Structure 1
Amino acid sequence: MNATTTPTAAAQPGPLTCFTLSTTGHIAHLVLSRPEAMNTMHPTFWRELDAVLTHLHKSGEARVLVISSTGKHFSAGMALETFGSEIALDDRSPEGRAAVFDMLGAMQATFTKLETLRIPVIAAIQGGCIGGAVDMVTACCLRYATADAFFCIQEINIGMVADVGTLQRLPKLVPLAVVKELAYTGRRLPAAKALGYGLVNEVFDSAEAMLAAAMQCAGEIASKPPVAIWGTKQAVHYARDHSVDDALKQMGWLQGAIWSNAHVRESVTAMKEKRAGQFPGLSPIKNFNEFGQ
């Protein structure tokens, strides 16, 4: 690679049909925008979400992502008609069944991008958060909910195992017995109970109040040094999945990689002067195979 070659900002994702995306004040706001279909998930949903998350990760423009929705429900999960379409899984041979691994892996990878995104992700949830929507929001950093919100591991009600992240991430967030009850029965978990279990950070009387709180939190996050926020997200997720000793060792390497005397001085000075700090954004990312294009 030529030493003078520098990455360029990631290209904007193409026209979106399942979402709207805006970025203001370093806060990206992704809105599920098919309320007439209860914001259900189908192949286009997955393609567009993957493209948006890739763009946000590579561009470095946004410092936090808020995901909200429209209509009565946040999302009713997977569009049921997809199970009867050409993407129906082939269970007639071991070869067909083996191919399920790769298809599911690609779907799982899209929601995993919410975890590996260089910026925190806040989910603002109203009404039903069902099936695949639970997979999605459990990969987010923070979850705010309206009082009428509920969570449902719907997959068991349609004869299958939840397979895109719920059974792997939810036990990291709430007691295991609660996960088992929800996963075995398909019962709804109301927002008030979800708050008690720690699944959601706060419950609000209206979607407007919830979104305002999410945006306020996003603004606070966006005011911090982006590289320190990225490092914090990395450390928290690593500690979740490793021993304390391993996580402490990783923390030493991480802190050594991102430490900035200038950021600390600016943070302290801004605090004393009661003003917002001024920090550089994350550098854009360009994949190695994109150079020379």
Structure 2
Amino acid sequence: MPLQLTSFSLTIHNHVAHLVLNRPEAMNTMNPAFWHELDAVLTELHRSGEARALVISSTGKHFSAGMALDVFGGAIQMDDQSAEGRAAIFDLLGDLQATFTKLETLRIPVITAIHGGCVGGAVDMVTATCIRYASADAFFCIQEINIGMVADVGTLQRLPKLMPMAVVKELAYTGRRLSAQKAMQYGLVNEVFDTQEATLAAALQCAAEIAAKPPIAIWGTKQAVNYARDHSVEDSLRQMGWLQGSIWSNAHVREAVTAMKDKRAGEFPPLSPLKTFGD
């Protein structure tokens, strides 16, 4: 059954999924529907195995202005009047964090094409993706400190793995904007392009290149890189041995080498669909 989406549009073409934030009139803010739909989309992409790369882009003036203000106005309850209410905040944040973590654990790479403002929760989101391209007008802002709170859905945990710690602290303490050019200098952004259109084109081109590789090898590479980020070299090498042993395919290697010699696209089987006991 097709997903019914109001905050996004989703297409899959030549094994590349393209998810577009499509509430430009609201600056693509993250209302409750955003969270429900993003979680559902990522769950389905992970399950199906149809897509081999995911591009996330946006519409309107800004990529996303972050959490919708009506969330703080009662759409989601944040009860600070009792110990029980404050304890419930822990579980609420855990649900939000888990949705963005699905970007990291998704079986395929995720590329973001960012233009205009990438603010607050949008920074949380893009830091969980694999590759970030930006247009020249893009900027990043840890907006939470400007509205009296701590960024709590991944920015403060992932950004220090991507940028110098002192820069992260400056941005997190002041709420200043970081330009696309500076973001590239610091390592947050892979490349900066003149226009929004050029940014998206580059993201889709990168996704197409990824989709042409053996999906299981891409899956294994993503697993290894993410594991190495959080573990020692010794532990990561050990994990690499188990990982390679579990996914190695002589047939895939032969097909990749033959395709390269013949100057043609390789033909590789997709990732197997996932099924649960409840299916």
Shift of 1:85: 1.2
1:52 aligns to what?
Answer: 41
Instruction: Name the CA distance, whole Å, in 1 between partners of 2:35 and 2:236.
Output: 33
Instruction: Name the CA distance, whole Å, in 1 between partners of 2:165 and 2:123.
Output: 16
Instruction: Name the CA distance, whole Å, in 2 between partners of 1:273 and 1:145.
Output: 35
Identity %: 78
1:164 and 2:153 correspond: yes
Q: Is the 8 A contact 1:194 1:200 kept in 2?
A: yes
Instruction: Name the CA distance, whole Å, in 2 between partners of 1:144 and 1:235.
Output: 22
2:203 aligns to what?
Answer: 214
Shift of 1:88: 3.2
Q: Is the 8 A contact 1:114 1:121 kept in 2?
A: yes
Note the alpha carbon deviations across 1:214-256, whole angstroms, 9 max, x for none. Answer: 1111110000000000000000000000000000000000000
Out of 206-215 and 125-134, give the one that drifted further.
206-215
Q: Does the residue aligned with 1:75 lie in a helix, a strand or coil? A: coil
Instruction: Name the CA distance, whole Å, in 1 between partners of 2:53 and 2:6.
Output: 22
Shift of 1:86: 4.4
- Poorly superposed stretches of 4+, deviation over 4 Å: none
1:253 and 2:242 correspond: yes
Instruction: Name the CA distance, whole Å, in 2 between partners of 1:12 and 1:234.
Output: 29
2:30 aligns to what?
Answer: 41
Q: Is the 8 A contact 2:32 2:75 kept in 1?
A: no
Instruction: Name the CA distance, whole Å, in 2 between partners of 1:237 and 1:42.
Output: 29
1:72 and 2:61 correspond: yes
Q: Is the 8 A contact 1:12 1:55 kept in 2?
A: no
Out of 241-250 and 77-86, give the one that drifted further.
77-86
1:4 aligns to what?
Answer: none
Any unmatched runs of 5+ in structure 2? Answer: none
Instruction: Name the CA distance, whole Å, in 1 between partners of 2:49 and 2:207.
Output: 16
- Coordinate RMSD, CA, aligned: 0.7
2:257 aligns to what?
Answer: 268
Any unmatched runs of 5+ in structure 1? Answer: 1-10
Match of 2:137 among 148, 155, 164: 148
Q: Does the residue aligned with 1:289 lie in a helix, a strand or coil? A: coil
Q: Does the residue aligned with 2:17 lie in a helix, a strand or coil? A: strand
1:139 aligns to what?
Answer: 128
Instruction: Name the CA distance, whole Å, in 2 between partners of 1:82 and 1:106.
Output: 15
Aligned length: 279
Instruction: Name the CA distance, whole Å, in 2 between partners of 1:277 and 1:288.
Output: 34
1:225 and 2:214 correspond: yes
2:275 aligns to what?
Answer: 286
Match of 1:82 among 49, 71, 77: 71
1:126 aligns to what?
Answer: 115
- TM-score w.r.t. the length of structure 1 is 0.94
Note the alpha carbon deviations across 1:21-62, whole angstroms, 9 max, x for none. Answer: 000000000000000000000110000000000000000000
